[in-house]
Structure 1
Amino acid sequence: MNNPILPLISVVIPCYRVTQHILAVIDGIGSEVSQIYVIDDKCPDHSGNFVRANCRDQRVVVIDHLENQGVGGAVMSGYVAALAGGADIIIKLDGDGQMDARLIPNFIAPILSGEADYTKGNRFFDLEQIRAMPTVRLFGNAVLSFITKVSSGYWDIFDPTNGYTAIHAEALRHLPFKKISHRYFFESDMLFRLNTLHAVVVDIPMDANYGDEVSNLKISKIVTEFLGKHIRNFFKRLFYNYYLRNMSLASIELPLGVGLVLMGGSYGVWHWLNSARIDTATPAGTVMLAALPILMGIQLILAFLAYDIASVPHRPIHKKILLKKPNA
């Protein structure tokens, strides 16, 4: 049985073509971590066998995938193993050396103090460090950050694709593992799922190291696959948070606002086309009848956004879950 005073900390490292960096990553993990799960995601370089042959750290457990499942699938396998091993907090750390393992205490501190359920890295705190970020990554992260704010409901975070994360085991147990994306959309999908639980997410300042690693995240993927999934998650979040689990004034404001904008816009366009067809000026009264519902609709949509921004979760759910347990 775990010591109730000292939480059991685990690290999950998904591995795919990281044999040049993985041993240094493991060596950099401090003594505050009790378990390290290395997930060989059908790596062509056989990362798992490489770690077995060259790593003597007794905390390391290697898990092999028979098929490549993507970074999300590898992390989920590590999460399952960490939960089975009794972990209280699970860190996700990449094996390519871009994440400083010395920051692990910073990531777990807000969770240990009961201020957060999930923490994630943010490389945008230090403006000087941003200059070191490749332009493509900088642009992609800026676009994704805004889209993720809208789809996930976490308006106070940035750098959503940052894979340096920590999560409390009680929050993790309530996530639908089978529904979370197993590919590059994993981090963004995690945020959406956490918001449906009303989990508290906190950004942790960090610097990024860019060496000879090549990012597999393409702009085309952001524009096509990611955008479609973000739109899907946005509408799911609206349904879950504003209609299925709760009803509020915002539940009325958004559909009413959208309806007024569409009604006013359709009315205005129809009369504009009709006036153009008969070559006459549109009466001022007709213009006002089109503009008024549009303006009212925009005001209602803005009111909904203000409510949504103010509704970012601030009370960690893992504390409430533990209080419900008889032996907590």
Structure 2
Amino acid sequence: MSSTRIAVVIPSYKVTRHIASLIASIPSYVWRIYVVDDACPDQSGNFVKANCTDPRIAIVFHEVNQGVGGAVMTGYRAAIKDGAQVIVKIDGDGQMDPALIPNFVDPILSGEADYTKGNRFFDLEKVRTMPKVRLVGNAVLSLMTKLSSGYWDLFDPTNGYTAIHARVAEHLPMEKLSRRYFFETDVLFRLNTLRAVVMDVPMEAQYGDEVSNLKISKIVTEFLFKHARNFMKRIGYNYYLRDMSLGSLELPVGLLLFCGGGVFGIYQWTNSMRAGVETSSGTVMLAALPILMGIQLILSFFGQDIAAVPRTPLHKKISRRAL
């Protein structure tokens, strides 16, 4: 690992209480550390410059706040330009233990994955230490992310402890990625459209006196809309533009039967209510049969979608490109 150019990107916004100790704990085999000051009101970049003497540090300043996604993309671009091979992203608030970096990097270097991310739900005994609000929020987000990203075997989608092969990072549409709290989930969606292999890495979060800016209301408003948008995009990309399969037929036919049967059933039930007569068993069957067939086709589609999770790493098949 010492011969591999591993870069660490730290998006920095109001993290001056933790960032110095975090940098000091980053292992010596890490090649370079990119601190991205995202127009921090506490001037995190200047704080690091004044208090940290590690020669591996490169500080990048944003004149305008771009959110965590914008800060990470800035770090990715700088690391790729300098020749990094694997890029690890760690938050600057002290929740992520740098000693775990090998757990994230090894699957990439061994050719098992293109992208790794933390999963705080692996050890059920440790889940009890997680704040209840985060526990419920992450469970809801995980379900929505499975649908929108297509990675059905992943959990804890908002976990920001990640690592990515530089060749795969080069092919991310960085200008299109969400800039703020939806960033981690949006990356998963984009990775699926590239057919990259993503792997969960068990970890234990460290909760201290840091303050989370993620509001639960975003789960049912902004996040819900963006998940629905990404789901429709993913289905369009993977099942109609890039390739076609049996699932390309099962989903629309299933939806048509389900909705058609439902509309027909409601129409007949309404007419029966107005006429004051019971709906005949034949009419009920005419409504129920397409609904049941539609459900079966939709479930069959999701079965195929689950089986289609990428399994062959992408970074071995692609070459570097100029940014």
TM-score bracket, normalised by the shorter chain, equals over 0.9
Whether 1:80 and 2:42 are equivalent positions in the alignment is: no
In the TM superposition, what are the counterparts of 1:39-54 in structure 2 within 5 Å?
39-54=36-51
Out of 90, 101, 105, the residue aligned to residue 104 of structure 1 is 101
Match of 1:293 in 2: 290
5+ residue gaps, structure 2: none
CA deviation after TM superposition for structure 1 residue 6, in Å: 2.5
Equivalent position SS for 2:87:
strand
Equivalent position SS for 1:61:
strand
CA deviation after TM superposition for structure 1 residue 260, in Å: 0.1
Out of 55, 61, 64, the residue aligned to residue 67 of structure 1 is 64
What amino acid maps onto 1:163 in structure 2? Answer: G
Distance 1:272 1:159 in 2: 43
Distance 1:74 1:174 in 2: 17
In the TM superposition, what are the counterparts of 1:225-304 in structure 2 within 5 Å?
225-304=222-301
Whether 1:113 and 2:110 are equivalent positions in the alignment is: yes
Distance 2:9 2:303 in 1: 37
Percent of matched pairs sharing the same residue: 67
Q: Deviations over 1:110-134 (max 9, x none)?
A: 0000000000000001111111100
Distance 1:206 1:30 in 2: 17
Match of 1:177 in 2: 174
Distance 1:222 1:69 in 2: 21
Match of 1:221 in 2: 218
CA deviation after TM superposition for structure 1 residue 284, in Å: 0.5
Distance 1:50 1:130 in 2: 34
What amino acid maps onto 2:37 in structure 1? Answer: D
Distance 1:315 1:170 in 2: 15
In the TM superposition, what are the counterparts of 1:131-142 in structure 2 within 5 Å?
131-142=128-139
Equivalent position SS for 1:155:
coil
Structure 1 stretches of 4+ with a deviation exceeding 4 A read none
Match of 2:303 in 1: 306
Distance 1:318 1:110 in 2: 12
CA deviation after TM superposition for structure 1 residue 7, in Å: 2.0
Distance 1:32 1:125 in 2: 27
5+ residue gaps, structure 1: none
Equivalent position SS for 2:175:
helix
Out of 10, 15, 26, the residue aligned to residue 13 of structure 1 is 10
Distance 1:154 1:6 in 2: 32
Q: Deviations over 1:153-176 (max 9, x none)?
A: 000000000000000011111110
What amino acid maps onto 1:68 in structure 2? Answer: N
Distance 1:12 1:316 in 2: 23
Q: Deviations over 1:169-207 (max 9, x none)?
A: 111111100000000000000000000000000000000
TM-score (structure 2 length as normaliser): 0.98
CA deviation after TM superposition for structure 1 residue 22, in Å: 0.2
CA deviation after TM superposition for structure 1 residue 145, in Å: 0.3
What amino acid maps onto 1:111 in structure 2? Answer: I
Match of 1:34 in 2: 31
Match of 1:146 in 2: 143
Match of 1:95 in 2: 92
Match of 2:188 in 1: 191
Distance 1:249 1:105 in 2: 40
Matched positions, count? 320
Match of 1:167 in 2: 164
Distance 1:135 1:84 in 2: 41
CA deviation after TM superposition for structure 1 residue 321, in Å: 1.2
What amino acid maps onto 2:209 in structure 1? Answer: D
